[in-house]
Amino acid sequence: MRKVAYLGHVLMHERYELHQLTMMGKVTGRRGAGRRKKSWLRNIREWTGIASAAELFRLAKNRQEFTKLTANLR
């Protein structure tokens, strides 16, 4: 579950502030026809069982709680 570990790494460090804003924002526009694509964050939310991205971001800021979460995924 390297995606989850990377999310925690990015959200814990101030030097990734631009990356954090990109992950938390919405991209405007429309998708083409066809099956809806799963987003990177949706995958992580499904694996962790956390319903909202805001809750996931809050949890990732707390190193101890996030470590417990990632340990249970492996």
| 6-9 contact pairs (CB < 8 A, 24+) | 7/41, 7/44, 7/56, 7/60, 8/60, 8/63, 8/66, 8/70
Find the domain containing 66 and state its range: 2-21+41-73
- What 3-state DSSP class applies to 37? coil
Q: Is residue 30 part of a domain?
A: no
In a domain, 29, yes or no: no
51 within some domain: yes
Is 26 a member of any domain?
Answer: no
- Does residue 34 belong to any structural domain of this protein? no
62, two tokens: 């707390």
Residue 46 lies in a domain: yes
Look at residue 62 and give its three-state secondary structure. coil
Model confidence pLDDT, tens digit, residues 19-64? 777 777 666 777 778 877 777 788 888 888 888 888 888 888 888 8
Asked if the structure places residue 60 within a domain, the reply is yes
At residue 13 the predicted structure's pLDDT band, cuts being 50, 70 and 90, is: confident
